[in-house]
Amino acid sequence: MVNTGEFVDMLETLGYKEFCGVPCSNLTYLINELCNRGMYTPYYNEGDAVAYAAGQYLSGQRRVGILLQNSGLTNALSPLTSLTSIYRIPILMIIGDRGDKQTGSETKYDEPQHRYVGKFTRDLIDIGFDGRDLSVIKEKGQTASVERFDPDHNIVFLVESKDSFTEVKLIETRSKECELTLKDIIDGIDRVRDKDTVLVTTTGYTSRIAYMDHRPTNFYVVGSMGCAYSVGRGMAVANRKKKVIVLDGDGSVLMRPSAVMTGDAPKNLYHIVAVNGTHNSTGGQSLGRSCYDKIRNLLKEYGYTETAETAEFVKGINTGSGAVLRISNEVPKDLPRPKESLDQLRDRFMTETADR
């Protein structure tokens, strides 16, 4: 286990005074340490974080490290291959390495959404960075030393588990000013939806809470952060007889805000955005100041309403285009994960929602 504070000290010695990116649960303690030191800038999209780090490097001022999950590496590939690589801008990436990994005769298995990218993460790094990267964060029982790393070349750390770092508590306090929870929103939707209403839920706690009262007309976007709205919009366009409700999160919307701006929203689509200002499932790291205001200002011109009352947003399901809701970080304990395979959930969903 690497001492988190000593590891950050080492990176500072290399010239890295700021870090940015999108959290991963494998990196929770490291991000907590950076947040506590005031060294972490939340970014909504990994590719944008790479571009920001490139700009800092080109200014000659300082180096910026990037933290991301390996599923987010796919978001970062465009600037990594068509900006930093062709200009030979060195990049430090600390990647939460999740997914299927073959170790001897056994396969280490993670959540389904990490299955494929976990298989090729190391190959992708070896091929895409000319083999100059250091792909191990630690030697057994030892903290990595400064002498091993050349900051003028790409540096890649792969973090296989949250236990790679010593525990660090996040000093920043979470907002408790709201009483409305994700569970309240889902319960309110379930009370009024009928057999012709589809519920699409974004990744993380949202889908896991919805699964507590599973219905075959629920579709869980377990991964693909930021894609729930477009999935729901595709469903609504394809079948105008169905009402499609998308329950989204603030981090997801801010990762792909252009989705809401693409074309006119179908009349049978209702988009609910729950805002707590944090990446809740990875430790509660902040999404930055004024997160609610950013989303409210983005969506108000598209007819979204603001409310903190269950009755109000439920009423809007049949009359409006969407709602922006402040919520607390409270979630039920021991949240379940789907017992069925994703293939089974898909087939049941398609059977139940087929246009008859």
Match 């998308």 to its residue by tokens. 246
Weakest-pLDDT range from 6-20, 89-103, 140-154, 312-326:
140-154
Q: Last residue of some domain: 132, 164, 196?
A: 164
> Hey, which residues does 249 pair with through a beta bridge?
274
308 and 258 within one domain: yes
148 and 110 within one domain: yes
Length of the chain: 356
- Helix/strand/coil percent split, the chain, to 5: 40, 20, 40
Q: Tell me whether strands 92-96 and 63-69 are parallel, antiparallel or unpaired.
A: parallel
Weakest-pLDDT range from 82-86, 147-151, 194-198:
147-151
Element (H, E) at 205: helix 205-211
Weakest-pLDDT range from 152-166, 242-256, 274-288:
274-288
Write out pLDDT tens, residues 171-218: 865 555 678 899 999 999 999 898 899 999 998 889 999 999 999 999
pLDDT for 280 equals: 74
In a domain, 336, yes or no: yes
pLDDT for 237 equals: 93
Considering the chain, what percentage of its residues have pLDDT values greater than 70? 86
- How many C-beta atoms lie closer than 10 Å to residue 59's C-beta? 8
| 354 vs 348: CA distance, rounded Å | 10
pLDDT for 166 equals: 92
Asked whether the predicted pLDDT for residue 124 surpasses 70, the reply is yes
> Hey, which residues does 19 pair with through a beta bridge?
40, 65
Q: What is the mean pLDDT of the chain?
A: 84
pLDDT for 131 equals: 47
pLDDT for 144 equals: 60
pLDDT for 174 equals: 54
Angle at 258 between CA 118 and CA 53, to 5 degrees: 60
260 and 148 within one domain: no
Q: Please state the pTM of the whole predicted model.
A: 0.82
Under 8 Å between Cβ of 313 and 306: no
In a domain, 126, yes or no: yes
Which has the higher per-residue pLDDT, 85 or 234?
234
Residue 191 Cα to chain centre, angstroms: 29
Asked whether the predicted pLDDT for residue 127 surpasses 90, the reply is no
The beta strand positions in the chain, using DSSP E, are 16-21, 40-42, 63-69, 92-96, 101-103, 106-108, 155-159, 197-201, 218-220, 243-249, 269-275, 278-279, 285-286, 304-306, 322-326
190 and 157 within one domain: no
Under 8 Å between Cβ of 336 and 212: yes
254 and 127 within one domain: no
In a domain, 171, yes or no: no
In a domain, 306, yes or no: yes
Q: How far apart are the first and last CA of the chain?
A: 57
| 3-class state of residue 245 by DSSP | strand
Asked whether the predicted pLDDT for residue 225 surpasses 80, the reply is yes
Number of domains in the chain: 2
Match 């790679």 to its residue by tokens. 164
Which has the higher per-residue pLDDT, 125 or 135?
125
In a domain, 177, yes or no: no
What residues make up the domain containing 135?
4-164
